């Protein structure tokens, strides 16, 4: 299992927590972990690096997670990118909106680090 994971969140402590959570994959499987602080930066990295998995916050400045999701889904070159929305918006309508935008999974904050690790492994395996 190898690949690249991108964490896109405008909150520094959330990015750091996710990086620490996913570090095990870096050490054990050689997975690269990239980070971005907003949707525009995230979209640039997704276009350039084509990560296997993206953990994507919804409420961010410049470009929100739904917009990033739709943009990724509209580009055939990025069809292999799997997006996991990670958000404090836990309503069913929000979940549906995220899945309709093209996310393959929806996790709510506060998240369980073990669950994040499990999801990352599952999606990297394909």
Q: What is the pLDDT of residues 27-84, one digit of tens each?
A: 888 999 999 999 999 999 999 999 999 999 999 989 999 999 999 999 999 999 999 9
Angle at 46 between CA 41 and CA 49, to 5 degrees: 115
Which domains does the chain carry?
4-116 (3.40.50.2300)
Residue range 1-26: average pLDDT? 94
SS3 content of the chain, % helix, strand, coil (to 5): 50, 20, 30
Q: Which two tokens stand for residue 38?
A: 């907003």
Here the tokens at position 3 are 């690949």
Per-residue confidence band for 3, with pLDDT thresholds at 50, 70 and 90: very high
**Prediction pTM value:** 0.95
Express each pLDDT in 81-115 by its tens digit: 999 998 887 788 888 988 999 999 999 888 899 99
């Amino acid at each position: 299992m190898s690949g690249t994971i991108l964490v896109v969140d405008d909150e520094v402590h959330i990015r750091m927590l996710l990086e620490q959570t996913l570090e095990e994959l870096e050490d054990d499987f050689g997975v690269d972990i990239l980070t971005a602080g907003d949707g525009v930066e995230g979209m640039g990295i997704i276009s350039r690096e084509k990560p296997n998995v993206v953990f994507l916050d919804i409420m961010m400045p410049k470009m929100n997670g739904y917009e990033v999701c739709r943009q990724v889904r509209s580009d055939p070159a990025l069809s292999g990118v799997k997006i996991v929305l990670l958000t404090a918006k836990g309503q069913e309508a929000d979940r549906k909106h995220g899945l309709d935008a093209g996310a393959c999974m929806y996790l709510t904050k506060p998240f369980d680090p073990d669950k994040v690790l499990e999801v990352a492994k599952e999606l990297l395996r394909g």
